[in-house]
Amino acid sequence: MANPYPRLLAPLDLGFTTLKNRVLMGSMHTGLEDGRKHFPAMAAFYAERARGGVGLIVTGGFAPNIEGWAKPFAGTLATPAAARRHREVTDAVHAEGGKIALQILHTGRYAYQPFAVAPSRIQSPISPFTPRELSERGIERQIRAFVRCAKLARDAGYDGVEVMGSEGYFINQFLVTHTNHRQDRWGGAYANRMRLAVEIVRRIREAVGTDFILIYRLSLIDLIPGGSSWPEVIELAQAVTAAGATILNSGIGWHEARVPTIATSVPRAAFAGVTKRLRDDLRSAGLGIPVITSNRINTPETAEQVLANGSADMVSMARPFLADADFVAKAAAGRSDEINTCIACNQACLDHTFKNQLASCLVNPRAGHETTLLIRAAPAKRRFAVVGAGPAGLAAATTLAERGHEVDLYEAADQIGGQFNLARRIPGKEEFSETLRYFSRRIERTGVKLHLGQRVSGPSLLAERHDAVLLATGVTPRDPKIAGQDSPGVISYIDAILGRQPVGLRVALIGAGGIGFDVAELLVHDGAHVSPSQDLAAWQREWGVADPTLHRGGVTRAAPAPAARQVTLLQRKAGKPGAGLGKTTGWIHRAALKMKNVQMVSGVNYERIGAHDGALGLFVTHGERRTDGEVIACDTIVLCAGQVPQRELQQPLEAAGVEVHLIGGAHEAGELDAKRAIDQGTRLAAAL
């Protein structure tokens, strides 16, 4: 068979060692770094990815000292005893034929702990702790800690280290005047501000010798006002190369930047052009150091394309390896349609990390749980019926079949996916289609018998005499019981999303949960136009992303397209609408709607819906006394008032003595999301 991805799968010769392909598993903080007890799980996690064929793995960040901790007691590599514990990880990866580098992460002013240090005493907007300004001796101590950490990594069996110099962390904080107000030889002129980065690389290289991979993660586009200029980026790239870096990795955006960089609404490979510019400039200067591109690359096709157009020598993908440990092996075997694609939702990875939970993956609940969530062959084959091919039913049916059971999957609609067929129509959520492609293929592969267009009833199911039934029948919209809601122009979110009912120019949305936000996003974009996530130039204008060679930091004034409709988003609760959205993505949804002048109103009582000035009126009052009312004039009202479980099959089946299991929305509609649906379906199926 011809190599389907000749560039991606080509080896990379680093002189003293060769990587087997151009795929780097980028650093991700999984939480497994932060405690001795997790080392066996961390070893299994990375070993599974090494077995899946990735060229080089970079671990989650380890602090070189206490000052560098991201949070109290964060994973640290500062002693020989700690290095010995890492042997379990490096041995496991090497046993699978893989290579692994340790990331050295010093968080500086981003630290969420009281020992934070920084070039200047300037608090960051994302930590409550104000850092201590380092003395010159203090800076020297930090450099020595980096060097000690790299040496210990080598002792621990790592193939290299990655020095985290981007994303607004410690080293990056020295580079820009936004965070570096020093007047000594570590501040002021750029040669002084970049001294720390260069000293760290130079002294690590001196300490570890020439045959050890040293990746420097360079911030190419800071996405903050006052960020590095392009000549500064190039000067630093040249200096760290001369100081001994083996590979340059791309860093995109500081954590405090108000531009999304990895969310699902960011176009695929949105920043590869910036890496290309760096690579071209370095090649023009005679430097052939390999350059890695990153951010929102989640398929082998996209990765191959960025290599083909000369954007990079290697591609970093991080979350795609949570979604599928076998990404590379499947691509190499010509089975890329079997890859479980990362949909960039952040719901089980980054959102977990920010809530101090172990990272996992919405589409692959085994990620991070390799030693506990085992999909083993079933001790005895049984016949199961799974009713509903939404995320819960799909995960359960395919897992059961993989274990050797016989499975009938019934779906009332003429396609699989349940509510994911609504989600994928929202601008910026197009990636959700990938999960349905993955499950379609997995159904074929595992031999699940799929019955589309079959709304099963209790008697029809009983006649099939299965050993057990899994009800994954999902949810139906909640009836908010508002007087006048049967007026023309009042429609459900399902009709609005599917375009089954016309939507006027002035719209009120009842309910500001995840679906209310998504419907607002759909309606402010003109359905006839391509979503910004599918059009890089449009997306850049929306968020003010500029050419970093022309604009310092790569940011300029945002120029969003005008909203297609005037939308008002309402909720009864007091407080900020969208408070329940994802920890790391909620701000993006709120900012996107703000750009389109969506009015967000909290603390309302819905009194009634009725005619008003020849149009539709939503009559609301505010507060407990319900006196100060107003009427919101609109053409259409969309009900997005939550959902209730759909499980009417449960009672007749149980009454007939059938073993019934409820999963996903059928089990519990409150705070339901696809993460819980897939996790519950997978875990139940792994245990039956």
For ligand SF4, the binding residues (CB under 6 A) are 319, 322-323, 342-349, 361-363
In Å, what is the CA distance from 530 to each residue of 351, 525, 536?
28, 9, 11
Distance of CA 106 to the CA centre of its chain: 22
Residue 444 makes CB contacts below 8 A (sequence gap 6+) with none
Smallest distance from ligand FAD to CB 195, Å: 44
Nearer to ligand FAD, 195 or 296 (CB): 296
Residue 85 makes CB contacts below 8 A (sequence gap 6+) with 36, 39
- Determine, following the binding rule CB under 6 A, whether residue 491 of this chain makes contact with ligand FAD: no
Smallest distance from ligand NAP to CB 137, Å: 48
Q: Binders of ligand FAD: how many residues, by CB under 6 A? A: 37
On whether the CB atoms of residues 449 and 411 are closer than 8 A, the answer is no
- Determine, following the binding rule CB under 6 A, whether residue 391 of this chain makes contact with ligand FAD: yes
- The CA distance from 187 to 174, in Å, is 7
Smallest distance from ligand SF4 to CB 179, Å: 29
Contact partner, 391, from ligand FAD, ligand NAP, ligand SF4, none, Cβ < 5-8 Å per class: ligand FAD
* Residue 493 known to be catalytic: no
Partner residues linked to 246 by β-bridges: none
- Determine, following the binding rule CB under 6 A, whether residue 578 of this chain makes contact with ligand FAD: no
Contact partner, 474, from ligand FAD, ligand NAP, ligand SF4, none, Cβ < 5-8 Å per class: ligand FAD
- The CA distance from 454 to 476, in Å, is 18
- The CA distance from 186 to 194, in Å, is 8
- The CA distance from 11 to 22, in Å, is 7
- The CA distance from 18 to 12, in Å, is 6
Contact partner, 511, from ligand NAP, ligand FAD, ligand SF4, none, Cβ < 5-8 Å per class: ligand NAP
For 628, list phi and psi in degrees, rounded to 5.
-75, 85
Partner residues linked to 63 by β-bridges: 76
Q: How far apart are the first and last CA of the chain?
A: 39
- The CA distance from 547 to 553, in Å, is 9
Nearer to ligand FAD, 291 or 395 (CB): 395
Residues 140-179, mask of contacts with ligand FAD (x by CB under 6 A)? ----------------------------------------
- The CA distance from 320 to 328, in Å, is 10
> From the CB of residue 572, how many other CB atoms can be counted at a distance below 10 Å?
15
- The CA distance from 490 to 506, in Å, is 12
- The CA distance from 569 to 320, in Å, is 34
Residue 685 makes CB contacts below 8 A (sequence gap 6+) with 395, 396, 397, 399, 400, 403, 470
Nearer to ligand NAP, 443 or 570 (CB): 570
- Determine, following the binding rule CB under 6 A, whether residue 662 of this chain makes contact with ligand FAD: no
Smallest distance from ligand FAD to CB 255, Å: 22
Nearer to ligand SF4, 229 or 364 (CB): 364
- Which burial class, exposed, middle or buried, applies to 129 when counting CB atoms under 10 A from its CB (0-12, 13-18, 19+)? middle
Residue 486 makes CB contacts below 8 A (sequence gap 6+) with none
- In terms of phi and psi (left: phi > 0; alpha: psi -120 to 50; beta: otherwise), the region of 489 is left
Catalytic position from the list 5, 46, 158, 169: 169
Point out which residues bind ligand NAP (CB under 6 A).
478, 480, 510-516, 518, 571-573, 580-582, 640-643, 671-673
Considering only 67, 673, 679, 686, the residue that binds ligand FAD (CB under 6 A) is 673
Considering only 39, 69, 146, 410, the residue that binds ligand FAD (CB under 6 A) is 410
Contact partner, 268, from ligand SF4, ligand NAP, ligand FAD, none, Cβ < 5-8 Å per class: none
Contact partner, 509, from ligand SF4, ligand NAP, ligand FAD, none, Cβ < 5-8 Å per class: none
Contact partner, 473, from ligand SF4, ligand FAD, ligand NAP, none, Cβ < 5-8 Å per class: ligand FAD
Nearer to ligand NAP, 196 or 581 (CB): 581
Smallest distance from ligand SF4 to CB 299, Å: 12
Nearer to ligand SF4, 345 or 407 (CB): 345
- Determine, following the binding rule CB under 6 A, whether residue 456 of this chain makes contact with ligand FAD: yes
- Binding region for ligand FAD (CB under 6 A): 345, 347, 387-393, 410-413, 418-420, 422-423, 426, 455-456, 472-475, 497, 514-515, 518, 646, 664-665, 672-675, 677
Residues catalogued as catalytic: 169
